[in-house]
Each structure stands twice: as C-alpha cells, then as structure tokens.
Structure 1
Amino acid sequence: MITKAAGQLSRLLPRLSDYADLPRSWRRDILAGITVGVVALPLALAFGISSGVGAGAGLVTAVIAGVVAAIFGGSHVQVSGPTGAMAVVLAPIVAQHGIGSIALVTVLAGAIVLAAGITGLGRAVTFIPWPVIEGFTLGIAAIIFLQQVPAAFGVEAPSGRRTPVAAWTVVAGAEWSSAWRTLAVVVFVAAVMVGLPRVHRAIPESLTAVVVSTLLVVAFHFPVGTIGTLPAHLPAPLVPHADPAALRTLLGAAVAIAALAAIESLLSARVAAAMSPTGPYDPDRELVGQGLASMASGLFGGMPATGAIARTAVNVRSGARTRLSAIVHSLLLLGVVYLATGPVAAIPLSALAGVLMVTSFRMISLSTVAKIVGSTRSDALAFTLTAVVTVCFDLIEAVEIGILIAAFFALRTVARRSSVVREDLPGPAQPGDERIALLRLDGAMFFGAAERLSTAITNYPDVSVVIIRMSQLGMLDATGAHTLAEIAEDLEARGVTVIIKGVRPEHMALLANIGIVDALRHENHLIDSLDDAIAHARSHVARAVYP
C-alpha cells in the first residue's frame, strides 16, 4: 500500500523526462517564450486591474505562478497566469471583502486545487459537455467586455452592481465631453489590433497597440488615467494572516475560485494537447502544478492563476515543445518588473481596456456557436443557459446548471432508448409456448426508466412463465436491480414463474446484493443459456397443463 502510494505521488512530481526534447528544441522554446511574454505583458496588467487587485499583482502572478506551473504542471506547453475568467470571479470578492483578503483566498484556493490533483480528481473535467464549455466561454467573453466599459469611458465602475447593470449605468450617464478621449484611445487600440495582423502576422499586435497609444498619449498630453506606480521588484513572500472568522468567510469564495481554476486549466491543457505534437497531458499533475502556482502567487501578493488558453495557443503556434518556453515567458516578465516599471506605469488604462475588449471578441467562435445552436435542442438550451447565467449571475453556478441540463437530457435520451421487447421462442413451436413470455431488456435499467420497464414486463396476461433476457442490458443501477426484484416478487405472487437469463458478470454482484435470488422461486432460475431457459420454461408449462 505504501509503495503504491509513493508511486502515485512520484507520478505527480517533476522529472528529467519533462525536458527530453530540450536538446533539439531549445532555440524554438526560447523564441516561443519571448513571443508569449510579449503577448502576456499587457494581458497580465489588464487582468490585474480588471480584477481589482492592481496591475502589479497581475504582473507578479504572471511571473511567480507562470514559472511554478511550468515546472510542476502536467502539460509541456501550458502557459499560466492571470486570466479574464479569474478576474471576473475576483472582482466581486475584492468589492465585498477588500483587497487584503486576496492573498488568503488565493492560498486557500491553491490548496484546494492541489488536494484535488493529489486525490485524482483531474479527470472529472471530461464530464463537462462541450456545449457547456462553449457557453461558459461565451459568457466570460461578454463579462470581460462589459467590465471594460467604465475604463473605456474614463470613470470608476459603480460599486455593488452586477457587471451588465454597471456597464449600462456608465453608458447611460456618460459625460461625453470627457469620455471621447478615452474612447478614442480604445478605438485606436482596437483598430491596431485588428489591422496589424493583415500587414504582418509576426508583429505582436496587442503590445504594439499599447506601446503606440502610450506614446501618443504622452506626446499630446492626453488627460487620461494611467496604470500608475508599479513595484520595482518582487515583494518578499509573506504567509497571509488567517483567523478563524476570515477562514469561514472566505472559504466559499476559495472553493469557487478553485473550481474555476481547475476547470479552466484542464480545458486549456486539453486544447494544448490537441494542438501540440508533444503528446497527452496528465490532468492530476496539472492540478498539482496549478495549485502550487496559486499558493506561491498568494505568498508573493499575487492573484489566483490558471492555464491561459490564448497564451498557450500562442506558445504552441510559436513552436514550443518543452516547459522551457513558459519559464522564459516568466523570466521576460520578471525583467520588466526590475527594469521597465517606469515606462509601463505610463500605459493608459483605456488602452488596456481596448486590448481586453478585442480579446473578448476573439474568445468567441461564431462557427462554433452556429454548430451548437444547429445541433440538438437540448445542447442549444444548455449552451444558451450557461452563457446567460454566466453573464447575469455566477460563473460556477452557470457550469453547474449547464451540466445538470445536459445530464437531464442525456438521461432522458437513455431512458427513451430503453425498452422491453417480447420475442418469439426460437425453433419449432410447441404446445404451451403461448404461455411463455420471452422478454428482452434493451438499453438501461436505471432510475430514469425502471418504472416504465416494470409496467411493460408485468403487463402480459395469460402467461405462466416469464423469461427476462438481460444479456443486451447495458447499464443497471440499484434502482433498476431493486425494480427487477420487485417484478419477480410480484409475478411469483401471482403464480407466474420468473426465469432470469444471461445476467452479465458486472451486474451479478449488484443483483445478488439487492436480493434478486431471494425473489425467484428457485436459485436455478438464474440461467446463462437461452436454450436451457426455454427448456426449463417449457417444463414448467407442461407440469401446469399436465400435472
């Protein structure tokens, strides 16, 4: 037992094989890391501001969490740091509990994600349906866009209001005499980001848009808000103070953050595995890496981190093959902290708002939306409700509701495909065969179909023997097994002999525990062969007709 546990734990730790391709790919990895670092800089600053913890915290998170997740994570090409989805979750927590609570809630959330990875919960993400994932992504994109509306108009976001209401309030009460300046910066940044790839795709459009807009604002003395003072070095690690009252207050928020971090990181790693030739990822190790990354980020004053789909995609497209690229990305941002905080502090907040607005549109795939809406009504409903609940209420609730809706329709489909079919007895007919009902169970005998199948089985009058064929039954749960026992008891009480034929090995233990053998007239009425079951049934009919 101890040896097995040690083996499982060692699987979650870094190893030399993580860098097996490094001798052949180190040049591409370094270039990819530089490219991702350039792309990540404006996003880290923007997401830090958007979450309410500040641009400096976003930069610290990209540095600390980025390198820890790269070393300990389960993907060779995943890039981690602050993300839009996490900013959406953190903003109300900062508003309600204050910025001082973020360090504690970040460490708590990281510990929860770490525990999930150690206990093997990483594969749970495979149970999230595709329409729910896309609906969640659409909702996140809408919230990111709406969150930037106050910065785009150069005002503070109204406190205590949900994002859509706050955005509408800002637009309705806008002072256009001053708002046109910040809106002009947003439009300029958006135009550069959209137009630059048409000129040359190798130029980092977000960074170029931010740099040029900053130079123009400084040159023409545009009166717009800027990032302001940034830390010129990494803060010393500090364990956040945690009294029992604070833990009770923030535990729910930490669970929500941990759930989002796990879901987003695993989805990003899964996308990266499909895009990259580096092979599959380890979901449990990925959670371990992301948990450690968030805990380290919280100790250094950062925010919770997750795998970032956009930056990971840039990393893969830039030719990354090993974890070195994500490490280089963090080292580049570390250089910005120590060498370039002065120029970065002059970046207009409206420029970062423009970057995030364009990023939110790029998160949405119209072709994917069309495919889901045009698929089935149940998938379209799950997609739509997940997106609406994400925007209007809560991100985690949106995923939960989407999964419940998808599960309900999936179970309904399985239940509808479950049936009871009366078959003709094979071979030449014999006297008394009309008093034998050979019933085949198809599909699943579970809580969603048990009652309907029970009615179908017991609704055969004028029969002396019922043979229930279970060899074609795919799924059986406790409700289904209990219903079969009740069916046998009911029929036997009415004088009808019940024979169970072809029980699959994986169903036998459940049926035995529920009491199906006790419900039958004789234990020999559990038969494997159809010919034997029919012969036994005919012997019962013969004794009934010719006692």
Structure 2
Amino acid sequence: MVTLLPGREDVQALPRTWRRDVLAGLTVGVVALPLALAFGVSSGMGAAAGLVTAIVAGIVAAIFGGSHVQVSGPTGAMAVILAPIVAVHGPHAVVVISMLAGLILVAAGVLRLGRVAVYIPWPVIEGFTAGIAVIIALQQIPFALDVRTPAGHSPLIAAGEAIAAARFPEAAIALGMTVAVIVVIEALRAWKATLPGALIAVVAATIVAEVSGLSIARIGVLPDSLPAPSIPLVSWSVLPTLVSPALAVAVLAAIESLLSARVAAGMAPTGRVLPDREVFGQGLASIASGIFGGMPATGAIARTAVAVRAGARTRLAAVVHALLLAGVVAFGSGLAGRIPMAALAGVLLATTLHMVDVGQVRELLRISRGTAITFAVTIVCTVALDLITAVEVGVVLAAFFALRALAATTSVTREALPEPAQVGDDHIAVLRLEGSLFFGAADKVMEDIAGSEAWVVVLRFSKLEMLDPTGAHRLTELIDMLEARGATVIIKGLRGRHGRVAERAGMLDALRDPEHVFSDLPAAVAHARSHVARQLAGEPVPTRS
C-alpha cells in the first residue's frame, strides 16, 4: 500500500542530483517571483498573499506532494476562480476557503480519490485552459490602462468599463509599458529561453518608472516577513455559504495539480506520480497557506516545466524556489513594492500567449465535430460562467459524444446458415449482435431485430462487447414480443458477464424453453432447423410454460 507521507524514496537521488536541484530551484524562483505577485493581485487578495502562498504552500507541497518535481503556488486558474469570491465575501473569507478546500483535499487523498480527478477528457482540459487564458487577459486590461474598476464585475464587463473609462493620452503610458514588457519577454524567449524574461522585463520597467517619475499605479507596501500563523475567525452563520466555493476550489486544485504532475512526468525521468499523495499534499499546502493568510495553491504547470527543464529531479528544487522567495520578502520587499501594475499586466498577458498549444488545438479540432464542439462550449462556459460549471458541462458533452460514437459501432447483421442448405432455412434468421448494447444503442438494435419475420430467431452474442441493464431489459421485451407472435428465440454465445446481467433482467426467463441457450452455433442452428421442420410438418408450435 502506497503511503501518503514522505519516505526514503523522496531523498534517494539527492546525493547525485542536489547541485542540479539547487540550480533549478534558483531558476524557477526567479521566474516565479513576478508570477506570484501578479497572480496575487489578479485574485484580488493582493501581491503579498501571492508571495505568502508561493512560499508556504510551495514548501509544504514539495515535501508532502506526490510528484518529485512539482512546483506549487498561486496560479492563473486559481486566481480566476478566487476573484469573484473575494468580490462577494472579501479576502478574509478566502483564507477560510483555503483551509476548507485543504481539508477536502486531505480527505480525498485519505479516501484514495486522487485518480478520479484525472478522468477529464482532453477537449475539456484544453477548453478550460483556453478559457482561463481569455479571463486572465481580460483581467489585465484595467491594469494596462491604469484604470480602477469596481470589484465584483465579470472580467468581460470590467474590461469594457476600463476601456470606456480610460483617459488618453495618460493611459497610453501604462499601455505602452504593458506592451513593452510583453515584447521584451517574447524577444528573450525567442533569443534564449533559459533567461528569466519576466523578471528582466519587470526590473527594467520598474527602473524606467522610477527614473522617469511616472505617475502610474504600483504594487504598494509588501511585508518584510511572513505573517504570524493564525486560525481565522468566521461566523457560524457565514460558514455554510463558504462550503460550495471551497468545494469548487478543491476540485480545481486537484485537477490542475494532477495535470501538472502528469505533464512533468512525461518531460523527464523524475519518478512516478502518486495521485492520492499529490491531492493529500496539496490539501496540506492550502491549509498551511490559509494559516499564514495566503490563498489556495495548486501545482503550477509552467513553473514545474521550467524546473524540470533546468534539471530538477527531486523535491529540493521546489523547496529552494520557496526559500528564494522568502529571501525576497525578508530583504527586497521595499523594492518589489515599487513594481508598476502595468508591468505585472504585461507578465500575465505574455503568460496567456503560451497557455494553449496551438498545434494541439488544431489537431483537436480536426478529430471530430463532437470534440470541436466540446472544446468551444467549454471555453464559452469558462468565460461566461465559471470554471467548475465549464468542466461539468464539458464532461457531460464529451460523454454524450463518446456514447454516440460507441452506439454507432453497435450493429445487427444477418448471417447465412451453415452448409448444406436445408428446406425451411429461409424461415430461420441468425442475427449477430456486435459492439455495445447499452442504453444509447438499445432502441436502434431493437428496431433491426423486431422487423424479422422468421419462425426461429437465433441471437448470436459472441461478438457483443458490452451489455448493460437497459440493453438486457430491451432484449427481454423483444423476446417477449417475438415469442408472443409465435416465433421461437434461441440465444447463442452468451458470455459469463453478460449472462449475469441477462439473468437479472429476466431475459432468460422470457425464452420459451430454458434449453434454448447454446454455446455452440452448429448446435443452435440444428435445434432451429428441427423447430422449422416440425412446423412444416404441421405440428403445433409449443408455447411457453
């Protein structure tokens, strides 16, 4: 049984890899600094909350999580789902939600439910990732135009209000800085991807703003130490209203963390991913983050990928990344507070440009119309509604199209009888059922069989892959109908697992004779021919006992 707690396997590779892990941790820490600040601001919790989350949750998830190289902290997806919660309930409630979501994740890990979250179809994952990118981009428009908008509005409405309220040429300064940051990041990415483009662009923008004395919004005062741990007080009357948002946060944290860990495992030989332990560890990380006044955390795909590409092989890399950010809080919070909001907007807008793999989306759209519809609807629901609703709708749509495709593989084929032909063979129908006979395909199959006017109908089940209770029930109704009009039904090749379903649905009891079940086709056909021969001789057709 796989344990949920740290073990010897977590540190076995350290003697060989610690130098690379330290270097990778420093690299991803530099990349994570502007993102932690930006996602904290984007969520409505503030830049300080983003840093606290990256430090506290980053260390806890690194130690207790199920991936050796996962880097955790605030993410764009979590910022998107937290922004409306902050607007409605306030930052204090989000701290409580972080702890509640953490408890839900811990329980899910203990109950071994980690694998459930990975059954999200590919078009749904790509759809809500693209939707998140759109929302993050919309959220940056007010910052890029140096405009304050009322809290609580949807990102689309807030972006429209910001554009309407922008005063030019004053807004052009902030907009120019945002565009410049994007250009610098993308240019450095194209020139040398290992350079921390976001950090270089933000530092350059801050220097320009300071030297020029630009009058644009800044991050503001940041703490020079971590807040003291505390358990937030919340009224019992308010607590029930926070359970639903906490559940949504927990689901998102599980999905995003497991997806990130799975991507990292495919990039390099970094050891196996333990889904239950990953969910458990992320739960502990969110609880710890809440105790220190932070926000819920998840595994961050972009930062984890940076760590792996930089050589990370053990959990030390994620720990070093968090310690570097802690050093910034202790020694550089004053400088970080001078960063222009427009520069952070540029960092996040540049991030959205690479959140969706265009090649994969093009491939996805070519697969089938159902896949394309699921992808598009998930994007619309993500932007117009919320992430959890988008995932729910996307999964339902994907399931619908999958079942429809499965139903299309189900067929009924009339087979020729074995040679030599005999008199009366035209009164026998051997019908081969193929594919999956389930609720989505039952009626189609019934129509094909019910039209038979044969005196004896042999149903071949040996090619049937799946038989669900609905399919068995409809077959029972069909046998009743055929027997009622004088036809004899014989069943051939009913396999063990199908036999149990058929028996419980009453299908075998509907047969005229319990002996009309065969495992061998020649024997079934011979019995059918004997029935037809008796009828041709004028013998009465026996009825069900």
* Counterpart in the other structure of 2:261: 269
**TM-score where L is the length of structure 2:** 0.96
Residue 380 of structure 2 is aligned to residue 388 of structure 1: yes
Residue 179 of structure 2 is aligned to residue 187 of structure 1: yes
| 1:253 Cα deviation from its structure 2 partner | 0.9
2:477 to 461, 474, 486: 486
| 1:391 Cα deviation from its structure 2 partner | 1.4
2:415 to 401, 423, 426: 423
Q: Deviations over 1:193-213 (max 9, x none)?
A: 122234433321111111121
1:140–1:391 Cα contact (<8 Å) kept: yes
* Counterpart in the other structure of 1:512: 503
Alpha-carbon separation, structure 2, partners of 1:402 and 1:415: 20
Helix, strand or coil at the partner of 1:438? strand
Q: Deviations over 1:494-529 (max 9, x none)?
A: 222211111122222212211222111222222211
Amino acid at match of 1:20: Q
Alpha-carbon separation, structure 2, partners of 1:79 and 1:428: 72
* Counterpart in the other structure of 1:160: 152
* Counterpart in the other structure of 1:289: 281
2:147–2:165 Cα contact (<8 Å) kept: no
* Counterpart in the other structure of 1:4: none
2:124 to 132, 137, 145: 132
RMSD between aligned alpha carbons?
1.5
Residue 34 of structure 2 is aligned to residue 34 of structure 1: no
Amino acid at match of 1:152: A
Alpha-carbon separation, structure 2, partners of 1:484 and 1:198: 62
* Counterpart in the other structure of 2:109: 117
Unmatched tracts of structure 1, length 5 or more: 1-6
Alpha-carbon separation, structure 2, partners of 1:363 and 1:423: 53
* Counterpart in the other structure of 1:444: 436
Alpha-carbon separation, structure 2, partners of 1:523 and 1:12: 53
Alpha-carbon separation, structure 1, partners of 2:409 and 2:452: 21
Alpha-carbon separation, structure 1, partners of 2:382 and 2:461: 44
| 1:240 Cα deviation from its structure 2 partner | 2.5
Does the C-alpha gap of structure 1 residues 436 and 141 become closer, same or farther in structure 2, counting only changes over 3 Å? same
Residue 141 of structure 2 is aligned to residue 144 of structure 1: no
| 1:542 Cα deviation from its structure 2 partner | 2.6
* Counterpart in the other structure of 1:399: 391
Matches within 5 A, 1:449-468: 449-461=441-453, 463-468=454-459
**TM-score where L is the length of structure 1:** 0.95
Amino acid at match of 1:46: A
Residue 488 of structure 2 is aligned to residue 497 of structure 1: yes
Alpha-carbon separation, structure 1, partners of 2:340 and 2:380: 31
Residue 464 of structure 2 is aligned to residue 473 of structure 1: yes
| 1:372 Cα deviation from its structure 2 partner | 2.1
Amino acid at match of 2:57: A
Does the C-alpha gap of structure 1 residues 434 and 200 become closer, same or farther in structure 2, counting only changes over 3 Å? closer
1:410 to 379, 402, 406: 402
Does the C-alpha gap of structure 1 residues 402 and 195 become closer, same or farther in structure 2, counting only changes over 3 Å? same
Structure 1: 4+ residue segments shifted above 6 A: none
1:125–1:267 Cα contact (<8 Å) kept: no
Comparing 347-356 with 112-121, which one deviates more in the overlay? 112-121
Helix, strand or coil at the partner of 2:269? coil
Residue 6 of structure 2 is aligned to residue 23 of structure 1: no
| 1:58 Cα deviation from its structure 2 partner | 0.6
Helix, strand or coil at the partner of 1:201? coil
Residue 242 of structure 2 is aligned to residue 250 of structure 1: yes
1:107–1:294 Cα contact (<8 Å) kept: yes
* Counterpart in the other structure of 2:306: 314
2:41–2:50 Cα contact (<8 Å) kept: yes
1:232–1:339 Cα contact (<8 Å) kept: yes
* Counterpart in the other structure of 2:542: none
Alpha-carbon separation, structure 2, partners of 1:228 and 1:362: 28
- Total equivalences in the alignment: 538
Alpha-carbon separation, structure 2, partners of 1:36 and 1:206: 11
Unmatched tracts of structure 2, length 5 or more: 540-545
Q: Deviations over 1:289-323 (max 9, x none)?
A: 11111111111111011111100110111111111
